[in-house]
Amino acid sequence: MKLMGAAAGLHLTGASWAQNGAYPSRVIKIIVSSTPGSATDLAGRLVGDLLYAKYGQSVVIENRAGAGGVIGMQAAAASKPDGYTLTTGGLGHNVLPPATLRGLPIDIPTALLPIAQVAEFVNALVVRVDHPANTVPELIEYLRATKRKPLYGSNGVGSSSQMTAELFAMRTGLKFDHVPYKGASEALVGTANGDLDLCFMNLPPTLPMVDGKRLKALAVTSAYRARQLPNVPTMQEQGMKDFDVTSWLGMYAPAQVEPAIIAQLSNTIVTGLAAPEYQSRIINAGFEPKLRDAAQFQAFSKAELKRWSEVAKQAGIVVDYGGK
Protein backbone atom coordinates (compact mmCIF):
# COMPACT_ATOMS: atom_id res chain seq x y z
CA MET A 1 0.00 0.00 0.00
CA LYS A 2 1.27 3.46 -0.84
CA LEU A 3 0.11 6.74 0.64
CA MET A 4 0.30 9.78 -1.58
CA GLY A 5 -0.02 12.98 0.39
CA ALA A 6 1.98 15.43 2.40
CA ALA A 7 4.75 12.88 2.82
CA ALA A 8 5.13 12.76 -0.94
CA GLY A 9 6.71 16.17 -0.80
CA LEU A 10 4.61 17.76 -3.54
CA HIS A 11 4.21 21.54 -3.44
CA LEU A 12 0.59 22.62 -3.87
CA THR A 13 -0.79 26.02 -4.79
CA GLY A 14 -4.34 27.29 -4.53
CA ALA A 15 -7.05 26.34 -2.07
CA SER A 16 -8.29 22.80 -1.85
CA TRP A 17 -11.90 22.23 -2.74
CA ALA A 18 -12.17 20.48 0.62
CA GLN A 19 -11.97 23.84 2.37
CA ASN A 20 -15.42 24.64 1.01
CA GLY A 21 -16.83 21.33 2.21
CA ALA A 22 -16.91 20.01 -1.34
CA TYR A 23 -15.81 16.61 -2.56
CA PRO A 24 -13.23 15.38 -1.78
CA SER A 25 -12.80 16.24 1.88
CA ARG A 26 -10.78 13.22 3.03
CA VAL A 27 -8.50 10.39 1.90
CA ILE A 28 -9.28 8.68 -1.42
CA LYS A 29 -8.47 5.01 -1.87
CA ILE A 30 -7.62 3.47 -5.25
CA ILE A 31 -7.88 -0.33 -5.36
CA VAL A 32 -5.55 -1.86 -7.95
CA SER A 33 -6.59 -5.38 -8.98
CA SER A 34 -3.05 -6.43 -9.85
CA THR A 35 0.48 -6.49 -8.46
CA PRO A 36 2.77 -3.47 -7.99
CA GLY A 37 4.52 -2.52 -11.21
CA SER A 38 1.80 -3.90 -13.48
CA ALA A 39 0.20 -1.77 -16.18
CA THR A 40 -2.92 -1.13 -14.13
CA ASP A 41 -0.83 -0.36 -11.05
CA LEU A 42 1.17 2.26 -12.94
CA ALA A 43 -2.06 3.84 -14.20
CA GLY A 44 -3.50 3.91 -10.70
CA ARG A 45 -0.44 5.60 -9.22
CA LEU A 46 -0.41 8.15 -12.01
CA VAL A 47 -4.03 9.07 -11.30
CA GLY A 48 -3.30 9.07 -7.56
CA ASP A 49 -0.56 11.64 -8.06
CA LEU A 50 -2.89 13.75 -10.16
CA LEU A 51 -5.75 13.68 -7.64
CA TYR A 52 -3.43 14.65 -4.81
CA ALA A 53 -1.97 17.50 -6.82
CA LYS A 54 -5.45 18.73 -7.73
CA TYR A 55 -7.26 18.38 -4.40
CA GLY A 56 -4.58 18.21 -1.71
CA GLN A 57 -6.16 15.07 -0.28
CA SER A 58 -4.03 11.99 0.36
CA VAL A 59 -4.52 9.03 -1.95
CA VAL A 60 -3.96 5.45 -0.79
CA ILE A 61 -3.02 2.82 -3.40
CA GLU A 62 -4.15 -0.63 -2.28
CA ASN A 63 -3.06 -3.63 -4.37
CA ARG A 64 -5.65 -6.43 -4.22
CA ALA A 65 -4.37 -8.88 -6.84
CA GLY A 66 -5.74 -12.36 -7.45
CA ALA A 67 -8.29 -14.37 -9.43
CA GLY A 68 -7.64 -12.42 -12.61
CA GLY A 69 -8.52 -9.13 -10.96
CA VAL A 70 -11.83 -10.36 -9.53
CA ILE A 71 -10.75 -9.99 -5.89
CA GLY A 72 -9.94 -6.32 -6.29
CA MET A 73 -13.05 -5.62 -8.33
CA GLN A 74 -15.25 -7.31 -5.72
CA ALA A 75 -13.70 -5.17 -2.99
CA ALA A 76 -14.25 -1.99 -4.98
CA ALA A 77 -17.83 -2.87 -5.91
CA ALA A 78 -18.68 -3.65 -2.26
CA SER A 79 -17.31 -0.35 -0.97
CA LYS A 80 -19.49 2.59 -0.01
CA PRO A 81 -20.46 4.45 -3.22
CA ASP A 82 -19.37 7.86 -1.98
CA GLY A 83 -16.51 8.55 -4.39
CA TYR A 84 -13.79 7.79 -1.84
CA THR A 85 -13.02 4.32 -3.20
CA LEU A 86 -12.00 4.06 -6.85
CA THR A 87 -10.41 1.26 -8.81
CA THR A 88 -8.31 0.69 -11.88
CA GLY A 89 -9.35 -1.52 -14.76
CA GLY A 90 -9.37 -2.02 -18.47
CA LEU A 91 -9.82 -4.52 -21.26
CA GLY A 92 -8.17 -7.40 -19.39
CA HIS A 93 -10.21 -6.99 -16.19
CA ASN A 94 -13.50 -5.33 -17.12
CA VAL A 95 -14.31 -6.70 -20.59
CA LEU A 96 -12.56 -9.99 -21.35
CA PRO A 97 -13.59 -11.85 -18.16
CA PRO A 98 -17.34 -11.23 -18.63
CA ALA A 99 -16.92 -12.00 -22.33
CA THR A 100 -15.13 -15.32 -21.82
CA LEU A 101 -16.06 -16.63 -18.36
CA ARG A 102 -19.32 -18.07 -17.05
CA GLY A 103 -20.23 -17.97 -13.37
CA LEU A 104 -18.21 -14.95 -12.28
CA PRO A 105 -18.97 -13.96 -8.66
CA ILE A 106 -19.50 -10.34 -9.75
CA ASP A 107 -21.38 -8.78 -12.65
CA ILE A 108 -18.48 -6.58 -13.66
CA PRO A 109 -20.18 -4.34 -16.27
CA THR A 110 -22.99 -3.35 -13.89
CA ALA A 111 -21.00 -3.29 -10.63
CA LEU A 112 -18.32 -0.84 -11.73
CA LEU A 113 -18.86 2.41 -13.61
CA PRO A 114 -16.21 3.76 -16.02
CA ILE A 115 -14.97 7.21 -15.00
CA ALA A 116 -12.21 7.99 -17.48
CA GLN A 117 -9.87 6.20 -19.84
CA VAL A 118 -6.21 6.94 -19.21
CA ALA A 119 -4.09 5.16 -21.81
CA GLU A 120 -3.78 2.24 -24.19
CA PHE A 121 -1.08 0.00 -25.59
CA VAL A 122 -0.97 -2.01 -28.79
CA ASN A 123 -0.45 -5.63 -29.72
CA ALA A 124 2.09 -6.67 -32.32
CA LEU A 125 1.83 -9.55 -34.77
CA VAL A 126 5.16 -11.38 -34.65
CA VAL A 127 6.72 -14.42 -36.31
CA ARG A 128 10.14 -16.03 -36.04
CA VAL A 129 12.89 -13.82 -37.40
CA ASP A 130 13.64 -16.05 -40.42
CA HIS A 131 10.00 -16.55 -41.39
CA PRO A 132 9.50 -16.23 -45.17
CA ALA A 133 6.61 -13.78 -44.74
CA ASN A 134 7.43 -10.10 -44.39
CA THR A 135 3.90 -8.68 -44.58
CA VAL A 136 0.45 -9.67 -43.36
CA PRO A 137 -0.76 -10.64 -46.88
CA GLU A 138 2.34 -12.81 -47.31
CA LEU A 139 1.67 -14.46 -43.94
CA ILE A 140 -1.94 -15.19 -44.86
CA GLU A 141 -0.82 -16.70 -48.16
CA TYR A 142 1.80 -18.80 -46.38
CA LEU A 143 -0.67 -20.07 -43.78
CA ARG A 144 -3.26 -20.96 -46.41
CA ALA A 145 -0.67 -22.97 -48.31
CA THR A 146 0.49 -25.00 -45.32
CA LYS A 147 -0.81 -28.59 -45.13
CA ARG A 148 -1.27 -28.58 -41.36
CA LYS A 149 -3.38 -26.46 -39.05
CA PRO A 150 -1.27 -23.44 -38.03
CA LEU A 151 -0.50 -22.75 -34.38
CA TYR A 152 -0.69 -19.47 -32.52
CA GLY A 153 0.30 -18.84 -28.93
CA SER A 154 -0.97 -16.55 -26.19
CA ASN A 155 -0.40 -15.74 -22.55
CA GLY A 156 -3.59 -17.50 -21.47
CA VAL A 157 -7.16 -18.42 -22.32
CA GLY A 158 -9.30 -15.31 -22.67
CA SER A 159 -6.30 -12.97 -22.85
CA SER A 160 -6.17 -10.07 -25.28
CA SER A 161 -3.45 -12.02 -27.08
CA GLN A 162 -5.81 -14.93 -27.76
CA MET A 163 -8.77 -12.73 -28.56
CA THR A 164 -6.78 -10.74 -31.12
CA ALA A 165 -5.63 -13.95 -32.80
CA GLU A 166 -9.20 -15.26 -32.90
CA LEU A 167 -10.36 -12.00 -34.47
CA PHE A 168 -7.61 -12.42 -37.07
CA ALA A 169 -8.84 -15.98 -37.73
CA MET A 170 -12.41 -14.78 -38.17
CA ARG A 171 -11.41 -12.00 -40.52
CA THR A 172 -9.23 -14.24 -42.71
CA GLY A 173 -11.21 -17.48 -42.55
CA LEU A 174 -8.12 -19.34 -41.32
CA LYS A 175 -8.39 -22.16 -38.79
CA PHE A 176 -5.82 -22.29 -36.00
CA ASP A 177 -4.95 -24.36 -32.97
CA HIS A 178 -4.34 -22.32 -29.84
CA VAL A 179 -1.38 -22.98 -27.54
CA PRO A 180 -1.84 -21.12 -24.23
CA TYR A 181 1.32 -20.39 -22.25
CA LYS A 182 1.72 -19.31 -18.63
CA GLY A 183 2.99 -15.89 -19.62
CA ALA A 184 3.86 -13.56 -22.45
CA SER A 185 7.59 -14.37 -22.36
CA GLU A 186 7.00 -18.07 -22.83
CA ALA A 187 4.67 -17.52 -25.78
CA LEU A 188 7.15 -15.16 -27.42
CA VAL A 189 10.03 -17.61 -26.94
CA GLY A 190 7.87 -20.35 -28.48
CA THR A 191 7.31 -18.11 -31.49
CA ALA A 192 11.00 -17.23 -31.77
CA ASN A 193 11.92 -20.93 -31.63
CA GLY A 194 9.51 -21.79 -34.43
CA ASP A 195 7.15 -23.82 -32.23
CA LEU A 196 4.36 -21.42 -33.21
CA ASP A 197 3.43 -19.93 -36.54
CA LEU A 198 2.55 -16.53 -35.11
CA CYS A 199 1.68 -14.63 -31.99
CA PHE A 200 -0.21 -11.45 -31.18
CA MET A 201 1.20 -9.97 -27.99
CA ASN A 202 1.22 -6.71 -26.04
CA LEU A 203 4.05 -4.50 -27.20
CA PRO A 204 5.95 -3.96 -23.90
CA PRO A 205 7.17 -7.59 -23.53
CA THR A 206 7.48 -8.02 -27.30
CA LEU A 207 9.65 -5.02 -28.10
CA PRO A 208 12.93 -6.30 -26.58
CA MET A 209 12.75 -9.49 -28.66
CA VAL A 210 12.02 -7.53 -31.82
CA ASP A 211 14.86 -5.12 -31.11
CA GLY A 212 17.11 -8.11 -30.33
CA LYS A 213 16.35 -9.67 -33.75
CA ARG A 214 14.72 -12.74 -32.19
CA LEU A 215 11.28 -11.93 -33.58
CA LYS A 216 10.01 -10.19 -36.70
CA ALA A 217 7.11 -7.79 -36.31
CA LEU A 218 4.78 -7.82 -39.30
CA ALA A 219 2.16 -5.41 -37.99
CA VAL A 220 0.72 -3.56 -35.03
CA THR A 221 -2.96 -3.97 -34.28
CA SER A 222 -3.86 -0.35 -33.57
CA ALA A 223 -5.19 2.13 -36.12
CA TYR A 224 -1.92 4.06 -35.79
CA ARG A 225 1.73 3.05 -35.97
CA ALA A 226 3.44 2.53 -32.62
CA ARG A 227 6.01 5.19 -31.81
CA GLN A 228 8.35 2.39 -30.66
CA LEU A 229 8.09 0.61 -34.06
CA PRO A 230 7.57 3.45 -36.56
CA ASN A 231 8.53 1.32 -39.57
CA VAL A 232 6.05 -1.46 -38.80
CA PRO A 233 2.72 -0.86 -40.58
CA THR A 234 -0.70 -1.38 -39.05
CA MET A 235 -3.02 -4.25 -39.89
CA GLN A 236 -5.30 -1.72 -41.60
CA GLU A 237 -2.48 -0.45 -43.80
CA GLN A 238 -2.01 -4.02 -45.02
CA GLY A 239 -5.59 -4.58 -46.07
CA MET A 240 -7.27 -5.65 -42.81
CA LYS A 241 -10.08 -3.11 -42.86
CA ASP A 242 -11.29 -1.83 -39.47
CA PHE A 243 -8.81 -4.08 -37.62
CA ASP A 244 -8.17 -1.93 -34.55
CA VAL A 245 -7.26 -3.66 -31.30
CA THR A 246 -5.62 -2.06 -28.31
CA SER A 247 -5.42 -2.91 -24.64
CA TRP A 248 -6.66 0.03 -22.60
CA LEU A 249 -6.66 1.23 -19.03
CA GLY A 250 -8.93 3.48 -17.03
CA MET A 251 -10.50 4.40 -13.73
CA TYR A 252 -13.77 3.04 -12.30
CA ALA A 253 -16.06 3.61 -9.32
CA PRO A 254 -18.84 1.61 -7.64
CA ALA A 255 -21.90 1.89 -9.84
CA GLN A 256 -24.03 3.92 -7.40
CA VAL A 257 -21.66 6.87 -7.00
CA GLU A 258 -23.47 10.16 -7.59
CA PRO A 259 -23.33 11.37 -11.22
CA ALA A 260 -21.98 14.75 -10.10
CA ILE A 261 -18.95 13.10 -8.46
CA ILE A 262 -18.37 10.90 -11.53
CA ALA A 263 -18.50 13.98 -13.75
CA GLN A 264 -16.10 15.87 -11.48
CA LEU A 265 -13.59 13.02 -11.34
CA SER A 266 -13.86 12.45 -15.07
CA ASN A 267 -13.14 16.09 -15.84
CA THR A 268 -10.26 16.21 -13.35
CA ILE A 269 -8.59 13.10 -14.76
CA VAL A 270 -9.06 13.88 -18.44
CA THR A 271 -8.06 17.52 -18.11
CA GLY A 272 -5.15 16.81 -15.77
CA LEU A 273 -3.66 13.96 -17.77
CA ALA A 274 -3.75 16.08 -20.93
CA ALA A 275 -1.02 18.28 -19.43
CA PRO A 276 2.46 17.75 -20.99
CA GLU A 277 3.95 16.52 -17.71
CA TYR A 278 1.46 13.66 -17.43
CA GLN A 279 1.52 12.91 -21.15
CA SER A 280 5.28 12.38 -20.87
CA ARG A 281 4.84 10.09 -17.89
CA ILE A 282 2.27 8.00 -19.76
CA ILE A 283 4.57 7.64 -22.78
CA ASN A 284 7.64 6.87 -20.66
CA ALA A 285 5.69 4.06 -18.97
CA GLY A 286 5.28 2.41 -22.40
CA PHE A 287 1.69 3.50 -23.06
CA GLU A 288 -0.03 5.69 -25.58
CA PRO A 289 -2.01 8.58 -24.10
CA LYS A 290 -5.68 7.95 -24.87
CA LEU A 291 -8.13 9.98 -22.84
CA ARG A 292 -11.90 9.48 -22.79
CA ASP A 293 -14.33 11.18 -20.42
CA ALA A 294 -17.01 9.26 -18.54
CA ALA A 295 -19.64 9.32 -21.30
CA GLN A 296 -17.14 8.38 -24.00
CA PHE A 297 -15.51 5.69 -21.85
CA GLN A 298 -18.84 4.14 -20.90
CA ALA A 299 -19.97 3.97 -24.54
CA PHE A 300 -16.60 2.59 -25.62
CA SER A 301 -16.64 -0.06 -22.88
CA LYS A 302 -20.10 -1.25 -23.95
CA ALA A 303 -18.95 -1.49 -27.57
CA GLU A 304 -15.83 -3.41 -26.56
CA LEU A 305 -17.85 -5.86 -24.44
CA LYS A 306 -20.19 -6.49 -27.37
CA ARG A 307 -17.32 -6.96 -29.81
CA TRP A 308 -15.29 -9.35 -27.67
CA SER A 309 -18.33 -11.30 -26.49
CA GLU A 310 -19.15 -12.00 -30.14
CA VAL A 311 -15.55 -13.04 -30.86
CA ALA A 312 -15.50 -15.33 -27.80
CA LYS A 313 -18.81 -16.94 -28.75
CA GLN A 314 -17.81 -17.53 -32.37
CA ALA A 315 -14.40 -18.86 -31.34
CA GLY A 316 -15.94 -21.15 -28.72
CA ILE A 317 -13.75 -19.94 -25.87
CA VAL A 318 -16.40 -19.20 -23.23
CA VAL A 319 -15.45 -21.33 -20.20
CA ASP A 320 -16.52 -21.72 -16.55
CA TYR A 321 -14.89 -19.41 -14.03
CA GLY A 322 -12.59 -21.17 -11.60
CA GLY A 323 -10.54 -18.35 -10.11
CA LYS A 324 -9.51 -18.35 -6.48
Listed in sequence order, the residues at least 6 apart from 293 whose beta carbon sits closer than 8 Å to its beta carbon are: 116, 266, 267, 270
Rounded Cα–Cα distance for residues 84 and 95 (Å): 24
Q: What is the pLDDT along the chain (324 residues), one digit of tens a residue?
A: 555 543 333 333 333 333 445 899 999 999 998 888 878 898 999 999 999 999 999 999 999 988 878 999 999 999 999 999 999 999 989 999 999 999 999 999 999 999 999 999 899 999 999 999 999 999 999 999 998 999 999 988 888 899 999 999 999 999 999 999 888 889 999 999 999 999 999 888 899 999 999 999 999 999 999 998 999 999 999 999 999 999 999 999 999 999 999 999 999 999 999 999 999 999 888 789 999 999 999 999 999 999 999 999 988 888 898 755
Q: What is the pTM of this model?
A: 0.80
Angle at 129 between CA 126 and CA 133, to 5 degrees: 70
Nearest CA to 200 among 230, 169, 238, 239? 169
What are the structural domains of the chain? 28-121+246-320 (3.40.190.150), 122-238 (3.40.190.10)
